[in-house]
A and B are shown apart, each in its own frame.
Chain A
């Protein structure tokens, strides 16, 4: 598993993919949080990083599928999966190795934004006037969203040999879970019947809850199960060669 993890991480950073993903993420975040007048912290007047936490999931929705699209599609189309599968490695180890490598990249992309936190912390009047609890919660929420998107991306990558198909599919599934469920819950047919269940199926409801700085077990269980489901589905797809 560790061998796979290292190989994947090396692949990100020995090619452009890793730097590109990190660079684009930080650039877009920087623009939204500091430069754009409509959304920037400086014009907003409040010491909060809300803009970062609202925008980041949407950027993740594009970038994470781009990171994960090659994970299995490339191995399947290049035939290297056959070699991986005939080495003393369990399918689960291959999946987890790839999953953790992509998650590490997501973590790396979030780390530099801690500078934003310290800047806003110092800019507050008086300094330090920022809701640190909510910020920590939001970071944890972002990381959980990132991990969910990674598991979705790895799953769609295992379904197809075509990286573009994997990318588009991953973006679509990520969107469905992040935003579509919440919007669907407002449909009349769900109203006052199952609207809360539909809303809770989506990611945003749980993200909002965690962002308040309260780490509810229900939200944690939701994210962990969603990750587990997609990793399990990937495992099923890989095992299907044996059917």
Chain B
């Protein structure tokens, strides 16, 4: 068990930020941390990395208690904080050399730095000062410093914030490949990211853990109706669409219509029958999968627990 968190509770003054959170993260897994702003994602990460202590509970990294053996735990963690703090006056290489010295990499220093600069795609920028880099490149420096000492556990607080779409794909690919041999815990607001790279999702809301499952399972578990997206060449009215068998609700979405079913029925057959009957030309007919976004919304707005 690489990261083991049990009954974590954190109070800021009288405000309870984390309330009895327990979870585990295994090697070879990318764990996604989801939750609205202020849910306690960053606080949990700060506790695992040993920056602040918890009021109750325990956080273990590779079998080392972050409170009792902080040095052993910290050696095994690579951390990218939310704001990606860096020394703007330092050169990229100089900064990585400093990090290597802190971790006592010794004669592996240069080869590790070379590897990290290549992996994160910093080669063209490695001779610049960090302050001169764009946000995306700074983010890469942040990732490089987190991975430099080859830690078993990577804690990444919103690692893809501020990246352009190409960089986004690259960095996601990098995290995914890292996740094969390491334990990666990352927090994010972006649902597609979770669907793309996470093997497991933990949703936190108001300091409480509300879900801990794979993205697939979470999608299946969401209750409610199924939707079908349909587009006709001709104009049709909402009233006539509502008369199709099994349709509960109709909503217009630009040129297309979203039809919601009563219960969990596939509406596609009925819709195509309706189009034939009325002599309409179907331009599109597609089953809408309930997205993680809906799961997230239903879990973090109501107090329900899956």
Chain B 47-73 interface mask (CB, 8 Å, partner A; 1/0): 001111100000000000000000100
Cα(A88)–Cα(B75), bound, Å: 6
Cα(A15)–Cα(B77), bound, Å: 31
**Given A79-B81, A86-B74, is A11 in contact with B89 using a C-beta cutoff of 8 Å?**
yes
Q: Is the pair A87, B51 in contact by a Cβ cutoff of 8 Å?
A: no
Q: Is the pair A82, B85 in contact by a Cβ cutoff of 8 Å?
A: yes
Q: Which of B95-103, B185-193, B236-244, B248-256 contacts the other chain?
A: B95-103
Enumerate chain A residues within 8 angstroms of B177, measured Cβ to Cβ: none
Give min CB distance, B74 to chain A, whole Å.
4
**Given A3-B98, A10-B94, A82-B51, is A87 in contact with B103 using a C-beta cutoff of 8 Å?**
yes
Q: Is the pair A87, B101 in contact by a Cβ cutoff of 8 Å?
A: no
Cα(A139)–Cα(B210), bound, Å: 66
Q: Does B168 contact A (CB under 8 A)?
A: no
Q: Is the pair B75, A83 in contact by a Cβ cutoff of 8 Å?
A: no
Enumerate chain A residues within 8 angstroms of B77, measured Cβ to Cβ: 86
Q: Does A55 contact B (CB under 8 A)?
A: no
Cα(A15)–Cα(B89), bound, Å: 8
Enumerate chain B residues within 8 angstroms of A10, measured Cβ to Cβ: 94
Give min CB distance, A99 to chain B, whole Å.
17
Q: Is the pair A3, B101 in contact by a Cβ cutoff of 8 Å?
A: yes
Q: Is the pair B85, A80 in contact by a Cβ cutoff of 8 Å?
A: yes
Q: Does A183 contact B (CB under 8 A)?
A: no
Q: Which of B91-124 contact A (CB under 8 A)?
A: 94, 98-99, 101-103
Cα(A81)–Cα(B52), bound, Å: 12
Q: Is the pair B102, A89 in contact by a Cβ cutoff of 8 Å?
A: yes
Q: Is the pair A83, B103 in contact by a Cβ cutoff of 8 Å?
A: no
Enumerate chain B residues within 8 angstroms of A78, measured Cβ to Cβ: 85-88
Cα(A6)–Cα(B87), bound, Å: 14
Enumerate chain A residues within 8 angstroms of B94, measured Cβ to Cβ: 10
Q: Does A7 contact B (CB under 8 A)?
A: yes
Q: Is the pair B85, A83 in contact by a Cβ cutoff of 8 Å?
A: yes
Cα(A4)–Cα(B98), bound, Å: 8
Give min CB distance, A236 to chain B, whole Å.
16
Enumerate chain A residues within 8 angstroms of B75, measured Cβ to Cβ: 88
Enumerate chain A residues within 8 angstroms of B71, measured Cβ to Cβ: 88, 90
Q: Does B220 contact A (CB under 8 A)?
A: no
Enumerate chain B residues within 8 angstroms of A14, measured Cβ to Cβ: 89
Q: Does A85 contact B (CB under 8 A)?
A: yes
Q: Does B303 contact A (CB under 8 A)?
A: no
Enumerate chain B residues within 8 angstroms of A87, measured Cβ to Cβ: 74, 99, 102-103
Q: Is the pair B52, A241 in contact by a Cβ cutoff of 8 Å?
A: yes
Q: Does A2 contact B (CB under 8 A)?
A: yes
Q: Which of A3-23 contact B (CB under 8 A)?
A: 3-4, 6-7, 10-11, 14-15
Give min CB distance, A75 to chain B, whole Å.
8
Give min CB distance, A55 to chain B, whole Å.
32
* From B90, B102, B103, residue with most partner A Cβ within 10 Å: B102
Q: Does A193 contact B (CB under 8 A)?
A: no
Q: Which residue of A lies closest to B75 (CB)?
A: A88
Give min CB distance, B27 to chain A, whole Å.
21
**Given A82-B85, A83-B85, is A242 in contact with B52 using a C-beta cutoff of 8 Å?**
yes
Cα(A220)–Cα(B166), bound, Å: 62
Cα(A158)–Cα(B79), bound, Å: 23
Q: Is the pair B74, A88 in contact by a Cβ cutoff of 8 Å?
A: yes
Cα(A15)–Cα(B91), bound, Å: 12
Q: Does B286 contact A (CB under 8 A)?
A: no
Enumerate chain B residues within 8 angstroms of A242, measured Cβ to Cβ: 52-53
**Given A86-B50, A86-B74, A88-B74, is A79 in contact with B85 using a C-beta cutoff of 8 Å?**
yes
**Given A3-B101, A87-B102, is A82 in contact with B74 using a C-beta cutoff of 8 Å?**
no
Q: Is the pair B101, A6 in contact by a Cβ cutoff of 8 Å?
A: yes
Partner of B81, one of A4, A82, A89: A82
Give min CB distance, A220 to chain B, whole Å.
33
Give min CB distance, B298 to chain A, whole Å.
34
Q: Which residue of B lies closest to A83 (CB)?
A: B85
Q: Is the pair B83, A79 in contact by a Cβ cutoff of 8 Å?
A: yes
Q: Is the pair A83, B81 in contact by a Cβ cutoff of 8 Å?
A: yes
Q: Which residue of A lies closest to B86 (CB)?
A: A80
Give min CB distance, B76 to chain A, whole Å.
9
Name 6 interchain pairs, CB-CB below 8 A, sorted by A. Answer: A2-B101, A3-B101, A14-B89, A81-B85, A82-B51, A86-B77
User: Nearest 8 A-B pairs (CB), nearest first?
Assistant: A79-B85, A3-B101, A86-B49, A80-B85, A88-B74, A3-B102, A88-B75, A7-B98
Given A80-B85, A87-B74, 13 more A-B residue pairs with CB atoms under 8 Å apart are A3-B98, A6-B101, A7-B98, A11-B89, A78-B88, A79-B83, A80-B87, A81-B85, A82-B81, A86-B77, A88-B71, A88-B102, A90-B71
